[in-house]
Amino acid sequence: MHGQRRVSFFVRVIQRRQDIECLREAGALQEPYLKLVERDFERVLSGIEAGSSPGAYSPESEGYFVVLEKGDNLKNLEVVGLNPQDGGLLGCWPEFVDRIELGPGLSVYRVLVLYNNECAMTFYLQAGPWDREVDRWLRDNAGDGRDDKGKLNTDACGGTLPGEAGVPF
């Protein structure tokens, strides 16, 4: 894959705009899913660049984005700093886990894990049946995506961008 950094058979690492373009060209993610990841990535870049010079973003020290897919071993994500001795992603205490409804049949979990005071990693996992342990971990950390009245939460992140009704950010 030209330009795209893959650290195992499935794990997709996003550290620069070119990585998003490679995902787009490959058709690797459904468009609403890709737009969510792209918006999150652009927000991080703009936030970092607002306080410093353009191009100041350092994925190695500030963190980056990881798209996980079925078949990835979530207990061993050593390639992105989560070792198997501690349980990988499932051994983490995430800062937050959002379940985001992107459209009919398309839900994504967004997981933020702080590695230290300067570095945070954002993981994305498409909702759906993983294995029992992963599904339980996601549910326990995010709830089931429904509010207290049982209505499916389609706005898990606080709103939608103008002109993009129904696509949460």
Print the domain residue range for 127.
Answer: 5-142
Residues 61-80: tens digit of each pLDDT: 788 999 999 889 999 999 89
pLDDT higher for 133 or 4?
A: 133
Distances (CA, A) of 50 to 53, 55, 63, 154: 7, 11, 17, 30
Q: pLDDT tens digits for 75-115?
A: 999 989 998 999 999 999 999 999 999 999 999 999 999 99
Structure tokens belonging to residue 100: 């985001």
Q: Is 167 part of any domain?
A: no
Domain annotation covers residue 48: yes
Give the model's confidence band at 168: pLDDT under 50 very low, under 70 low, under 90 confident, else very high.
very low
Q: Is residue 44 part of a domain?
A: yes
24 found inside a domain: yes
Give the separation between CA 109 and CA 89, rounded to whole angstroms.
13
For residue 56, give the DSSP letter: -
Structural domain count, the chain: 1
CA dist., res. 25 & res. 74, Å (int): 26
